[in-house]
Amino acid sequence: MPKEVIDLRSDTVTLPTQEMLEAVKNAKLGDDVYEEDPTVKQLQDLAAEKMGKEAALLVTSGTQANLISLMSNCNRGEQVFLEAQSHIYWYEVGGVSTVAGLFPWTIQANGSIFNPEQVEAAIRPSNIHYPSPSLVCVENTHNRYGGLIVTPNQLENLNKVAKKHGLKLYMDGARIFNAAVALKIDIKELTKHVDNLMFCLSKGLSCPIGSIIVGSQEFIDKARKNRKLLGGGMRQAGIIAAPGIVAMESMIDRLAEDHENAQYLAMKLSKIKHVTIDLSKVQTNIVTFFLDPSINSDLFVAKLKENNILGLTQSKNTIRLVTHRGIEHRQIERVSSVICEILERN
Ligand SMILES: Cc1ncc(COP(=O)(O)O)c(C=O)c1O
């Protein structure tokens, strides 16, 4: 019998639940470009209410959500502050400049979330030589920093600096529910300090497609137009929204299980020779660890694959494994014993 594959590359590999597929079958549909799809409206109302914002908009992906949000928060030619390791800067094909026409100004935070002092230091006084700044973006949880959480207190302080300088604060909250679940707080504690944000349905929440932008009605009206501009206006999008409703009603609390598995994996890894891991930084469902410089991380990932375990190389000597629905404790046991075997043989 072929061995099962344990796929820890990302929480985006999760498949929809049976309940989601049933919801798709039974969804009431309409034309969403005419704002006539009742299931999309229900999901958007649910999202806005849960996040404590006026309105919400369903879009196709996290990348599209970020791009639309940048376009709707800023005018072309303006400057946007991004953390240097942020997803928007690293992995979104440079849409911030090529499509949104914005000037990205990065702030290097060195393994932690950028602090208000760093943001304040980066804001230059008004000058004819400089583009006008308009937006600060923060990522929560932080993907390249191993799912690190930005706390309500950090968000509040970032927002104070942003507002002092007349800037908006936007949150790439692709995994914002992971942060709320890990902190055991209401999601509004995290959303109330930002002007607007997006979150993904298609990651740990297990939906097949979709992200949601939330913010003021005025902002969402702009976002709707920008979504159309980008070809993202959808017709019977209720078939995407229906699993989203299931996700928001029943898939959030279970993220705690993914966090427990991540903690367990991290603890096991910390005992393996040639591995360095900072356990205090494993806060949600992403486990990032470092191999001794003598070990080729691409070869290491290839060896994992030979053992039916899939992971990712994040950069030289940095490996990323992500827990999600479908990954169980016993599989974590197998992953850690295979890693131990590969590295102890090294
Ligand atoms: C923090 C963050 N933002 C945005 C995205 C983009 O989402 P998508 O893959 O749906 O475009 C991701 C994807 O992993 C992410 O981790």
Percent of the chain with pLDDT over 70: 99
What average pLDDT does range 128-150 have in this prediction? Answer: 96
pLDDT of residue 146: 95
> Ligand 1 centre from 334 Cα, in Å?
28
pLDDT of residue 346: 59
Output the pTM of the full model.
Answer: 0.97
pLDDT of 196 strictly over 70: yes
Which range is least confidently modeled, 106-115, 157-166, 287-296, 323-332? Answer: 106-115
> Ligand 1 centre from 10 Cα, in Å?
10
pLDDT of 299 strictly over 80: yes
Kindly give the number of the ligand 1 atom that is closest to the alpha carbon of 139: 1
> Ligand 1 centre from 63 Cα, in Å?
6
What average pLDDT does range 210-234 have in this prediction? Answer: 98
> Ligand 1 centre from 233 Cα, in Å?
20
For 28-53, what is each residue's pLDDT tens digit? Answer: 999 999 999 999 999 999 999 999 99
pLDDT of 261 strictly over 70: yes
Q: Return the best residue to mutate from 87, 90, 139 for the ligand 1 pocket (most ligand atoms within 8 A of CB).
A: 87
What average pLDDT does range 255-260 have in this prediction? Answer: 98
What average pLDDT does range 1-24 have in this prediction? Answer: 93
Q: Which residues line ligand 1 (CB under 6 A)?
A: 61-63, 66, 87, 139, 143, 172, 174, 200, 202, 211
* CA-closest residue to ligand 1 atom 5: 62
d(CA 80, CA 61): 21
pLDDT of 215 strictly over 70: yes
CB 132 within 8 A of CB 101: no
CB atoms within 10 A of CB 55: 20
